[in-house]
Amino acid sequence: MKSSSTSESTACVEEHMKEKGSHPSADAPHVRLVIALEPLLVVFSIVVDLVKVVLLGVPLLCREIYSIFVPRPEKNVRGQVALITGGGNGLGRAMAQLLAARGCNLVLVDIDLQAAERTADEIKQQYGVAARAYRVDVSQYEQCRELGEQIERDGAGPVDILINNAGLIMFAFLTNSDVDRTNSVMDVNIKSHVWMTKVFLDGMIKRKRGHIIGISSMSGMYAFPWAVVYSATKFAVSGFMASLNEQLRIQGLSKSVRTTCVNPYYVTTRKDVIEFLQKPRFPPLTVDNAAQEIVKGILRQDIVVTVPRLFGVFTRFML
Ligand SMILES: NC(=O)c1ccc[n+]([C@@H]2O[C@H](COP(=O)([O-])OP(=O)(O)OC[C@H]3O[C@@H](n4cnc5c(N)ncnc54)[C@H](O)[C@@H]3O)[C@@H](O)[C@H]2O)c1
């Protein structure tokens, strides 16, 4: 919408040009020159783009390939505390076991308390580390805040590693998506990352030690039309993690509080994922393989972890 003063001044200029007869015509020499130069400008911009790809893309690609063969050393998490949301089932449960095997204590947070308790019991028996389970709806700020206080009262913290993993999947075109389910998907997949990080980040900053991990998805990197809202929430998670990482950098905290955003391809955790994957372009990942790759990426403290890793190399060129 134009403001009245803008349209008045535009009218004035037009009037003035009419009086002076100064409308540029296609025959004017400078207009002909611009038209003649246009193809050259197009070629020039293509050359600039190519140079950019070579100067920026190739070193990144080489670094990515080099890091596959010579990975960064993994950090030691023995005696630290990792909190995993959605830690009762699927990827959350598998990551909990891998971290426990490295001597890390666990806080498992899930809306499904039974599953979280079962996982905590298995971990304690198998690995001899401390593991506690809490029932929390991580999409609700108040519940996340109370969890922070409860962990402090129980002496289960402080939390060194926060893995925001809880998420809901919804395979649907937007036109077919149920409103209540859509609301839940948006609440759980986005708000839980914001609320849990808000609750635990301050302590990490004060202790100058922390690591926040957001489980996004490959559909947070590429548009995924079979699950429009889910894909949108995962783009939001990736944006949140990138912005958080940047916040910590400009605050001079990026060495003490790390962030990792994880983008897995399909993992055979859930019935609806398995049913959806009748003809996947690439075979889906098993829960164990995916969790192993994710935990390795977390321990290397990579800022972005793509699973499988090779997909990350291709994305350097495609995004
Ligand atoms: N499975 C895949 O193909 C795949 C691919 C890419 C990314 N991911 C992401 O990985 C994460 C884990 O997925 P998964 O396949 O293991 O799912 P899952 O359903 O097996 O496990 C999710 C866990 O989150 C819990 N949860 C759900 N809502 C909650 C809430 N409001 N509060 C607390 N806990 C809640 C569930 O009870 C469950 O234990 C999700 O964020 C998902 O989007 C999964």
Split at pLDDT 50, 70, 90, the class of 280 is low
Q: Is 134 a catalytic residue?
A: no
Q: Ligand 1, residues 83, 91, 113: which to mutate, most atoms within 8 A of Cβ?
A: 91
Select from 316, 306, 312 the least CA-distant residue to 264: 306
- Count other Cβ atoms within 10 Å, centred on residue 247: 14
Residues 6+ apart with CB under 8 A from 129: 100, 103, 104, 105, 106, 123
Q: If you average pLDDT over residues 256-279, what whole number do you get?
A: 82
Q: E strands, the chain, where?
A: 81-85, 105-110, 131-135, 161-164, 210-215, 257-264, 304-307
Q: What is the pTM of this model?
A: 0.83
Select from 262, 266, 313 the least CA-distant residue to 95: 262
- Count other Cβ atoms within 10 Å, centred on residue 43: 10
pLDDT of residue 274: 66
CB of 117 sitting under 6 A from ligand 1: no
Q: Ligand 1, residues 108, 146, 168: which to mutate, most atoms within 8 A of Cβ?
A: 168
Mean pLDDT, the chain, rounded, equals 87
Weakest-pLDDT range from 1-15, 41-55, 96-110: 1-15
CA 216 to ligand 1 center in whole angstroms: 10
Sole residue written with tokens 């630290």: 80
Of 185 and 2, more confident: 185
**Predicted confidence (pLDDT) per residue in 120-154, tens digit:** 999 999 999 999 999 999 999 999 999 999 999 99
Cα maximum dimension of the chain:
91
| pLDDT at residue 4 greater than cutoff 50 | no
The answer regarding whether domain 81-316 maps to CATH 3.40.50.2300 reads: no
CB of 137 sitting under 6 A from ligand 1: yes
CA 20 to ligand 1 center in whole angstroms: 69
